Structure 1
Amino acid sequence: MTLGLINANPVVHAKKERIARSEDVHPADDAHPYSLEQLSVLSEESITVDEKLGRILITFTPTIQHCSMATVIGLCLRVKLKDCFPPHFKVDIKVSPGSHANEESVNKQLNDKERVAAALENPNLRQLVDECIYSNEL
Structure 2
Amino acid sequence: MLAPLPGSPAEKLNVRAFISRRKLDSQQGVSQVTAEEAVSREDIQVAFICTENVLHEENIRTFLQAGKHVCVEYPMTMNYKAALELWNLAQEKGVILHEEHIELLTKDYRELKREVEGKGRIPMGRYRSGPVG
Regarding TM over 0.5, the answer is no
TM-score band by shorter chain is under 0.3
- Provide TM-score, normalisation by structure 1: 0.27
Greater Rg over alpha carbons, structure: 2
